[in-house]
Structure 1
Amino acid sequence: MLEQLFGSQTRVKLLHIFLINSDERYFVRELTRDLESQINAVRRELQNLEEIGVIKEVEGKEGNPKQNRKFYQADTKFVLYSELKSILQKSQFLLEKKFAKALQKIGRVYYLALTGFFVGNKSLPIDMLIVGKLNKKKFEKLLKGFERNFRREINYTLLDKEEFDYRRSVADRFLYSILDSEKIVMIDEIMNTFGQVADKEEKNN
């Protein structure tokens, strides 16, 4: 079964999409476009994953004009669902760590926190808070590459240190809605910590 699950790069990418975004539904051409892969290869891997039981065929979303298309979604009742998702979450953390290191090479970063999508909280206004000064063009290029890993746009706020300090001093509501929420802190020179996984690990323990 493991050979079937991890037999190709396309399959691994599909597993990441379905298991990290387990409440989402996808159709074949949508996945083909996002993975930049051949449609026959995507169809073949979807069939393999469906036969194994990792994904299942579902109806389209209500009100969706493309509802008659065949949609797929992760099957959370699959016997190895939790184990596979855990493996992919660990892989995601490695991507996040790599992003943090790359970010430090294109500017001065005092603080980087991942929240929102990264901690499964859709109610938060952003997915990433950065405090520092970055090369804008290099950052946009880096962010686009990071977004491709997750097949989604990442909403972020970038503050220079002076603005961050000011907002913190006046108890800015937006800033504290992020600082007081669940988050993964990757860089924190403001609090003299680095690579701390805040709140998330504590919650899991």
Structure 2
Amino acid sequence: MIENLITSRTRVKMLFRFFLNSHSKAHLRGLADEFGESTNSVRLELNNLCKAGYLISTGEGNIIRYSANVDHPLYPELQKIAHKCLGLDKIVDNVINRLITRIGELDSAFITGDYADGKDTGIIDLVLVGKLSMQQVRGYVQKAEKMIDRKIRLLVLSAEEFEKNKKNLASETALYLWQKD
């Protein structure tokens, strides 16, 4: 869908990589390897996006790291586009919002793994924390999977289980979708 609007495949990959998660950082060679593209095509897109102000670059030794410019006026809109293209908005609408309104025992919901790192691999790792059972959640997740044409790998934890496993989960990048006030 977005490929029809943005004709550069490399630029689309960068949109997902940097705008799914505001904490995502990468360098030229790492992106070239990840995307299976030449360093020249990646460099060209990085330069274009930096020049336009969508990305910022910071030198760390002899490596330049790139990240999304969260202060850019279009950052929230670009993040929404990336989330919609990958179906994260459908997960929020069809899983999280339904759990909140019908069950009301959700403490937080976040994504880990490749999607939290900005990589579209087709499998979304969704973690739900609260007083929920897999049986309560599974139906909502299956409906969302059909809508977004991606597989959702689900982990449901109680608040106590989450506290026990916080260190293990903290080692991964987490993209928070919802958190109880």
2:86 alignment partner in structure 1: 92
Cα distance per residue 1:64-104 (max 9 Å; x no partner): xxx3211111101112111111011101117988xxxxxxx
Count matched residues. Answer: 125
Q: Please list, as runs of the form range in 1=range in 2, the aligned pairs for 1:31-70 lying within 5 A after superposition.
A: 31-60=31-60, 67-70=61-64
Question: Residue type matched to 1:150 in 2?
Answer: K
Quick one: distance in 1 between partners of 2:12 and 2:116? 17
Q: Please list, as runs of the form range in 1=range in 2, the aligned pairs for 1:164-179 lying within 5 A after superposition.
A: 178-179=128-129
1:188 alignment partner in structure 2: 138
CA separation of 1:180/1:150 partners in 2, compared to 1, >3 Å: closer, same or farther? same
CA separation of 1:155/1:192 partners in 2, compared to 1, >3 Å: closer, same or farther? closer
2:11 alignment partner in structure 1: 11
Give the 3-state SS of the residue equivalent to 2:57 in structure 1: strand
1:77 is aligned, of 71, 83, 87, to 71
Quick one: distance in 2 between partners of 1:23 and 1:45? 20
Q: CA deviation at 1:151?
A: 6.3
Considering only CA atoms, is the larger Rg found in Structure 1 or Structure 2?
1
Structure having the higher strand fraction is 2
Quick one: distance in 1 between partners of 2:30 and 2:141? 43
Unaligned runs of 5+ residues in structure 1 are 61-66, 98-114, 119-126, 129-143, 158-176
Quick one: distance in 2 between partners of 1:193 and 1:35? 29
Asked if 1 retains the 8 angstrom alpha-carbon contact of 2:90 and 2:144, the reply is no
Asked if 1 retains the 8 angstrom alpha-carbon contact of 2:54 and 2:69, the reply is yes
Asked if 1 retains the 8 angstrom alpha-carbon contact of 2:21 and 2:118, the reply is no
Asked if 2 retains the 8 angstrom alpha-carbon contact of 1:10 and 1:42, the reply is yes
Give the 3-state SS of the residue equivalent to 2:24 in structure 1: coil
1:20 alignment partner in structure 2: 20
CA separation of 1:58/1:14 partners in 2, compared to 1, >3 Å: closer, same or farther? same
Asked if 1 retains the 8 angstrom alpha-carbon contact of 2:57 and 2:66, the reply is yes
CA separation of 1:178/1:148 partners in 2, compared to 1, >3 Å: closer, same or farther? closer
Q: CA deviation at 1:7?
A: 3.9
Asked if 1 retains the 8 angstrom alpha-carbon contact of 2:86 and 2:120, the reply is no
Question: Residue type matched to 2:11 in 1?
Answer: R
Quick one: distance in 2 between partners of 1:192 and 1:10? 30
Higher relative contact order (CA 8 A, sep 6+): 2
Quick one: distance in 1 between partners of 2:85 and 2:131? 23
Quick one: distance in 1 between partners of 2:67 and 2:141? 42
